[in-house]
Structure 1
Amino acid sequence: MDLEFRHLRVLNAIAEAGSITRAAAALGFTQPALTAQLQRIERLLGGSLFVRAGSGSRPTAFGAMVLAHAHGILTAHEDLMRDVRQRGPEDSDLTALRLGSVPGPLTAVLVTTARQLLPRAEITLHTCDTEEEQLELLATGRLDFGLAVDYPEYELPLRRELSDALLAVDPVFVLISEQHPLAAGTDIPLSALSGEAWLVGENKDVRMRAQFRAACRRAGFVPRRVQRLSASVVFPLVGQGHGVALAHPLVTEREGVVVRPLAGDPMGVRQRLVWATGSPLAEHAPALRDALRKAYRSEVQRAGVYWKWLEDKGRTSPSDPA
């Protein structure tokens, strides 16, 4: 791993906050995630940068030297971005558009929609391991727009440099084997799955996991058999009856596997378009937002199980933003 600009922002945030916990809240990270990030940076640089003191953290002598350089680099970057925003691009034609997304059912929709809206742009896609990584890349100007996912009551806070637009709010469905006794029905109660093994992809989204645990508690059980697996094997294992899995309602059914709604919508997922507020490309955000909402409705209409579920409830689209 090479030292990157985002690492300097992490170190500066810890120094300014005087606490890893407070810095994590300011950056939109969890405390364990930021601690792990700091440990990776320290291994890279070859020494401890902070020492815990009472209820906070203070720089070591080595850390103070690193922070002095980091502050100069960050200040120079802020000056550069301010001048770029004030001056704007020489060419009014958009020639490059950098998109980001944690891989999901709408990633391709984002690229297709952007290409239709801006056909002359050279579009690149960066897939991120976590939503926190994506927001960092957006805030530091390394991405222009991102498709962010979070969950009702477990929202992902935005840094002050970022803006967002809500695209849709969807329920979370479940994948089960077509031979499962509950496969013939609809609106499966979460409590009816209390004895199942839950097959979870290698997703690093702690908010999704927190929402799942809370929903299980409300349903009266604790999921005791949770297996974290490569996403490529989740469908085959579900199809052969080795467990069940959570799924976005747009997920396509495959041989041996069916997608079913959960009774009472115990979990949900939000889709958001995110961009840097001061970016010269921010002017394209309203048009991209509207185009994404329209494209998303078309995707929902093609998703047989989800569309039927909406029709049964007397709705013609997912929960639209206000």
Structure 2
Amino acid sequence: MELDVRHLRAVCAIADTGSLHRAARQLGVSQPSLSAQLRRIEQELGGSLFLRERTGCRPTPLGRLVLSRARPLVADLRSLVAEARAAAVGGPHLRLGSTASRALPGWLRRLRQSRQEPSLHMDVSPNALLRMVADGQLDVAFVHEVEGCPLRVPEGLRTRVLVEREPQFVSLPADHPAAAKPVVDLADLAGDRWMVDPTVDGESDAVHRMLRLAGLSPRILHGDYHTAASLVATGEVVTVCQPTSLSRPESAVRRLRGDPLGVRLLLAARTETELDGVCPALQEAYWEAARQSPAYREWLEGTASALALSEA
């Protein structure tokens, strides 16, 4: 077997995500297929590239050597493809990456109004998006950093904080007894099943830690955002959600008392100039989305009032 760029991209994805499961999802292949491909690569190179541990995959010395040569090659190819595509359509495009956010529609609309033509790449993994910016595959990434789970920001990237601490709310069935209250205690959800997405960097660990500190040990199911929303609507689970999320007839978004879980929202790019070009539009779009959410708007107004009293 001769190694090609697909094999190098697979090795980089495994290292970046730290997991065969997450790497397979990022590459759009099945985990068994990626595992088989990795075995063939290791046979070709004559040794193991990763240590398979309970917490994920960690590069061996041979793996680190291969990665040191593979990353520049993969980055150069990505840049070549991006530049060729831009030239083919008559000019450069702004390549944005983002984790899920209700600010995205407003951000894209504002950028287009300012005569920028953005493309968008979505990923549940902030770390994967940051690596894509560092590799030259994206120009800017809008990501979240879960409290207590620092992101792996590649060397050389510039970052700008949009929101230092965004409290995470809870989405629960509309007919749940706790939905009748504007602020929900975790104890009110002690008998519920929770759903988290294990592919979101840091989310599962943070939710487990939050529940453990509250003295709770509920059953936790794994699924993506869309699955969680469907199961909340049918009364099967509750789930952590962004405060900009909107209540629906079948589900309610509520603040958690004490704001036990938060995330930091930030932009990342290779230069300050790139950040200057997109940050104002994102700030406007984010606060527009925040004002549209009654629960978050109430929280923000309460926080502002408390701050004003403390400064008086």
Shorter-chain TM band: 0.7 to 0.9
Offset, 1:46: 6.7
How many residue pairs end up in the alignment? 280
The 2-side partners of 1:203 and 1:105 are apart by: 21
1:143 maps to 138
Correspondence list, 1:1-322, <5 A: 3=6, 6-7=9-10, 29-30=17-18, 39=35, 42-43=38-39, 45=41, 47=43, 49=45, 50-51=47-48, 57-59=60-62, 67=66, 71=69, 74=72, 95-117=92-114, 119=115, 121-168=116-163, 169-200=165-196, 202=197, 204-223=199-218, 225-277=219-271, 282-315=272-305
1:250 & 1:41 partners in 2: Cα distance? 41
Q: How far, CA to CA, are the matches of 1:269 and 1:148 in structure 2?
A: 10
Mark the runs of 5 or more structure 2 residues left unpaired by the alignment: 25-30, 52-57, 80-89, 308-312
TM-score, normalising length from structure 2? 0.74
- Identity between Structure 1 and Structure 2 (%): 24
More helix by share: 2
1:51 match: secondary structure: coil
Give the TM-score normalised by the residue count of structure 1: 0.72
1:34, distance to aligned residue in structure 2 (A): 8.9
| Structure 2 CA distance for aligned equivalents of residues 9 and 262 of structure 1 | 38
Deviation at 1:157, TM superposition (A): 2.4
Moved more, 257-266 or 162-171: 162-171
Question: Residue 56 and residue 150 in structure 1: after superposition, are their counterparts in 2 closer, same or farther (change >3 A)?
Answer: closer
Once the two structures are TM-superposed, the CA of residue 272 in structure 1 deviates from its matched residue by: 1.0
Pick closer, same or farther for the CA change 1:45–1:160 going to 2, 3 Å: same
In structure 2, the CA distance between the partners of 1:245 and 1:116, relative to structure 1 (3 Å rule), is: same
Root-mean-square deviation (CA, aligned residues, Å) is 4.0
Structure-2 change in CA distance of 1:48 and 1:190 (3 Å): farther
From the superposition, tell whether residues 209 and 249 of structure 1 become closer, same or farther in structure 2 (CA, over 3 Å).
Answer: same
1:185 and 1:306 map into 2 onto residues whose CA distance is: 14
Q: What are the ranges of 5 or more consecutive residues in structure 1 without an aligned counterpart?
A: 12-23, 82-92, 318-322
